[in-house]
Structure 1
Amino acid sequence: MIRRQFLARSLSAAVASLFARDVFAQHAGHSMQGMEDMEGMDDMSGMSGMQHAKPSLKAPPQGALAPADALPAGAPLPDLRRLANAGSEAGTFRATLVAEPTQHRLLAGRSTTFWQYNGSGAGSAQDPVTGPLIDVREGDTVEIRFINRLPQPSTIHWHGLPVPPDQDGNPSAMIAPGATHVYRFTLPPGSAGTYWYHPHPHMMSAEQVFRGLAGPIIVRAADDPLAGFPERHLFFSDLKLATDGSIPANDMMDWMNGREGQFVLVNGARRPRITVKEDERWRLWNACSARYLRFSLGEQQRFVQVGTDGGLLEKPREGLTELLLAPGERAEVIVRAGGAPSQATLTADVYDRRKMAMSHGSLPPDPAHALADVTFQPHTDARAGSSARSVPATLRTIVPFPAPVAQKSVIFSEAMDMAAMHRPGASVHGMPAGMRFMINGAGFDPKRVTLTSRRDEVEQWTIENRTDMDHPFHLHGTQFQVIGRERGGVKTPEPYLAWRDTVNVQPDEIVRIATVQTMAGERMFHCHILEHEDLGMMGTLKVT
């Protein structure tokens, strides 16, 4: 039963008001405790082997949130830390990532504990919530030694990279607290692009990411046609912060709609200052748990999109004034310095993703959010420099997939058991009872294979959203091409050819993609609103 049907028949405005007040008062103050007795979560069957996943850290009840201007703004955009290559052999990248609690002072007189990759010794002035950049090349063999110093089991998922299933940090291969695991894979030709890494333990992904565990990856090609452009990296993350400096647990609204904090950080900084003196290539990462970022530099400042999740487009998209990135998506754009000094604000413009209300219908969309202040100070020879670094009319060759030999269907749905949600204690556990987000009518079960594919077979996947809110679809292990969309019976072909691993699906929309899996094993596919993924909107693809 979808939201509009259930709420119209089951929830009066008075009850909703009382329940909403109770929800906001309690704020689900305990982090992931009592997973073994979650009521109303029938589709979480088969989790008997997950007792070791019960976290040992108990979060205090959530208090008042810090005001939206509590963090300083206006400092220069911090550079991303880089993960040093400890390997000495050519073509090998060898390093260590340690997931560990790390304290920083963001609010005056208050200490905030993040969970961070390689956080020991990091200061509050240097990307306190951003993992180090992994910068590698096509053909490299990557070996990452992962040490888990968290109070929970974890994994590292190499989001978007074509790595073997047993190296992709799936929830079936969790690394226990105190344990070490080595991930090894080789980056094939054609894999150049903008990627990221983050944890993927089932029912704990959301918490581990909102506490700070995420970092960027760049895979470079030897024949990059845009290599002459100076690069700027903007890694966007979301932070909810209480007045006492703590990072609070999810409340009921966070679980229903996906968590959005009062701060959107860029490379770990609030509303930094960016100075552009020549045309630049910007790599953009939306690493937020649930926030959609509709990027804009204003109507007067146009930019060129040159890349998506899986690397460069075939043809650049000129003259854009906005670009929507759903959670998990990445993009590359060329930002022009112009011929005269000017100012702009990098903004996340209003986007209505139809967040759920406690009574009926949807919440109004959030207002626009300023992300960074940009000053354009072009060199006197900026025009000549721009001409020397023109964007080619063709960036790469992308061959469309041939006719598919197999079809797959993915249907997003949701259901709410309001009786279970009202049951005493329902809102004090980390994951609420009675709230279900499903794929093909069922919540995630690690013992169940949702779909089966054959290696090297071209498939057409149909992703249908039967809920009332947007959901970003993410497929592990490969990139795909979006063929077209259908809504209200109207079919629209995708206007550009690109490689992607995440695509937004609006309510009542059908998105068709073409893809192929080249390695046998089990892969995940899911909604990349991390709370929805944890609540069951995930499936297993078995490739034979």
Structure 2
Amino acid sequence: MKRRTLLALPLFAAACSSAPPRAAPTRLHIPPVLPPAIDADGAKRFTLTMRAGSKTWGINGDFLGPTVRAARGDTVRMAVTNRLPETSTLHWHGMRLPARMDGGPHQMIEPGATWTPEWTIDQPSMTSWFHPHLHEKTAMHVYRGVAGLFLVNDSDDPALPDTYGVDDIPLIIQDRNSSGSVGGVDSGTFGLLGDVVLINGTRGAVFTATTSLVRFRLLNASNARVYRAGFADGRTFAVIAGDAGFLERPATVDRVKISPGERVEIVVRFAPGETVVMNSVGESERSANDIEEDDFDLLTVVAAGSLTSSPALPSALGGTPPESPPAGATVRRFALSGSEINDRDMDMTRIDEVVPAGAHEIWEIDNRTYAHNFHIHEVAFRILEIDGQPPPAYQAGPKDTVFLPKHAKARLSVRFGRHVDPTAPYMYHCHILRHEDKGMMGQFVVVEPGTEALVARTITGHHD
């Protein structure tokens, strides 16, 4: 186990320079909220431009993107313009929306073109995000910095810290090479595992707490690395939400494991005048081909000498209880190998699974090799079991991504939506992006119940 020391530099662009000198700690950058234009019908219109900086890529800037915020019931209209030197896409990770609006590898955006998806948000509060999802090149596009947060609010949200940038803080976690090299992103077992960590593009990040409770929204936007986040002093904190929404009640923990693509919301109590480090600590027992071997400091939190008192954390968060799959539920089985699912690489023209709208199924994931994780587009699922055991309480809420260590098995209770389209597919795949790019991905369509046998299993062209 090795501890990585973070040098303090403000943004990834600076971190790309060779052999940077040690510098003073740097204030955590908070991605700005992107204000929407309001159309005549009340829809919220957001303009996002993917563009290249001098050494990095970003959205509406040189690295990363703004935070998009909307509420349940809002109609959102996106104008996504590609000013990158390559074709790309923009996928709304965690959103429940029609497949043609999903931003997967079938919704390509050519250089100079603008893609204009729109949908009505109909899902509970959650922390989601957006990133490129083009076939065989996702890892490099995400690594270069094309990503941002998409926050959804609901009218019946519990009373929680919710002042963005003050006591509601996004933490986009990414590892990078301190040399600035992108070598290795597209090679090796897992792709590049960097030796430094950025938070919101900030290296050596420091956050000043001014309230007694702070809500952190953690997103693992790394290509491959897994983090076990907690605090160096061993303090406990409350997990309030996972990928797809709130838990039923807060779960008290001292560490949370978060693999690429996963999100977790936590609430932490601070005392006036204290300084504490949020860090990541690798598992005490690890076997070959684990990917979270190194320890990292993530964020230094400095509490002001006088803190505004926060309301007590509610004992009930309003998350829905798990719903047991019905008797006779369809069971689908997926075996994960080095870069294949069920012994097949991704084929853009092949439909692998056909699902009736509104179905409640059991998906069994069998990881037969080294570490993987598994992400399903459009759905919110519950983890029934990992290696025959129920998930920890902090992972018992709605999710869209699950981590599977070497040789692990998972059973998922998967509830599908009602956006039907027999020719436009959604994806399921490993969210370790090197694996996804090598072909560890499949496609499914959602169709009207009773029409499954009529669906063509071969598709042609893109679906935008």
Question: Scaled by the length of structure 2, what TM-score is found?
Answer: 0.85
* Residue 494 of structure 1, CA deviation: 2.5
Q: Are residues 1:102 and 2:53 paired?
A: yes
User: In the alignment, which of 318, 323, 329 is matched to residue 400 of structure 1?
Assistant: 323
Q: Are residues 1:292 and 2:226 paired?
A: yes
Query: After superposition, what is the alpha-carbon deviation per residue over 1:83-122, rounded to whole angstroms, capped at 9, x for unaligned?
Result: 221224575220211111112xxxxxxxxx2111112xxx
* Residue 390 of structure 1, CA deviation: 2.7
Query: After the TM superposition, which residues 461-472 of structure 1 pair with which residues of structure 2 at under 5 Å, given as runs?
Result: 461-467=363-369, 469-472=370-373
User: In the alignment, which of 105, 125, 132 is matched to residue 171 of structure 1?
Assistant: 105
Query: After the TM superposition, which residues 404-483 of structure 1 pair with which residues of structure 2 at under 5 Å, given as runs?
Result: 405-414=329-338, 437-467=339-369, 469-483=370-384
Query: After superposition, what is the alpha-carbon deviation per residue over 1:387-414, rounded to whole angstroms, capped at 9, x for unaligned?
Result: x333223433334143262111111102
SS of match in other structure, 1:235: strand
Query: After superposition, what is the alpha-carbon deviation per residue over 1:122-177, rounded to whole angstroms, capped at 9, x for unaligned?
Result: xxxxxx53211001111111111111122221111100110110000121221112
Query: After the TM superposition, which residues 139-538 of structure 1 pair with which residues of structure 2 at under 5 Å, given as runs?
Result: 139-188=73-122, 190-229=123-162, 230-242=167-179, 247-250=181-184, 254-278=187-211, 279-318=213-252, 320-338=253-271, 340-351=272-283, 362=289, 366-377=293-304, 379=306, 385-386=309-310, 388-403=311-326, 405-414=329-338, 437-467=339-369, 469-486=370-387, 491-496=388-393, 497-518=396-417, 519-521=419-421, 522-538=425-441
* Residue 192 of structure 1, CA deviation: 1.4
2:35 corresponds to which residue?
Answer: 84
**Judging changes above 3 Å, is the alpha-carbon distance between structure 1 residues 241 and 75 closer, same or farther for their aligned structure 2 residues?**
closer
SS of match in other structure, 1:498: coil
8 Å Cα contact 1:352/1:364 also seen in 2: no
Query: After superposition, what is the alpha-carbon deviation per residue over 1:171-216, rounded to whole angstroms, capped at 9, x for unaligned?
Result: 122111221110111101x331000000010011111001110111
CA distance in 1, matches of 2:284, 2:43: 44
SS of match in other structure, 1:171: coil
**Judging changes above 3 Å, is the alpha-carbon distance between structure 1 residues 148 and 352 closer, same or farther for their aligned structure 2 residues?**
farther
8 Å Cα contact 2:353/2:445 also seen in 1: yes
One-letter amino acid of the structure 2 residue matched with residue 506 of structure 1: P
8 Å Cα contact 1:255/1:532 also seen in 2: no
SS of match in other structure, 2:194: coil
SS of match in other structure, 1:223: coil
SS of match in other structure, 2:398: coil
**Judging changes above 3 Å, is the alpha-carbon distance between structure 1 residues 237 and 226 closer, same or farther for their aligned structure 2 residues?**
farther
CA distance in 2, matches of 1:464, 1:393: 34
CA distance in 1, matches of 2:356, 2:178: 46
* Residue 222 of structure 1, CA deviation: 1.2
**Judging changes above 3 Å, is the alpha-carbon distance between structure 1 residues 450 and 329 closer, same or farther for their aligned structure 2 residues?**
same
**Judging changes above 3 Å, is the alpha-carbon distance between structure 1 residues 281 and 364 closer, same or farther for their aligned structure 2 residues?**
closer
* Residue 364 of structure 1, CA deviation: 8.6
Extract structure 1 runs of 4+ deviating beyond 6 A.
352-355
* Residue 308 of structure 1, CA deviation: 0.3
CA distance in 1, matches of 2:412, 2:386: 9
1:431 corresponds to which residue?
Answer: none
2:9 corresponds to which residue?
Answer: none
* Residue 228 of structure 1, CA deviation: 4.6
User: In the alignment, which of 111, 114, 122 is matched to residue 56 of structure 2?
Assistant: 114
**Judging changes above 3 Å, is the alpha-carbon distance between structure 1 residues 532 and 115 closer, same or farther for their aligned structure 2 residues?**
same
Count of residue correspondences = 420
- Name the structure where helix makes up a greater proportion of residues: 1
CA-atom RMSD in angstroms: 2.3
**Judging changes above 3 Å, is the alpha-carbon distance between structure 1 residues 347 and 406 closer, same or farther for their aligned structure 2 residues?**
same
Query: After superposition, what is the alpha-carbon deviation per residue over 1:235-260, rounded to whole angstroms, capped at 9, x for unaligned?
Result: 11232353xxx5424367x4421322
Question: Scaled by the length of structure 1, what TM-score is found?
Answer: 0.73
Query: After superposition, what is the alpha-carbon deviation per residue over 1:34-88, rounded to whole angstroms, capped at 9, x for unaligned?
Result: xxxxxxxxxxxxxxxxxxxxxxxxxxxxxx9945x65745111112122221224
Q: Which runs of 5+ in 2 are unaligned?
A: 1-15, 448-464
8 Å Cα contact 2:185/2:191 also seen in 1: no
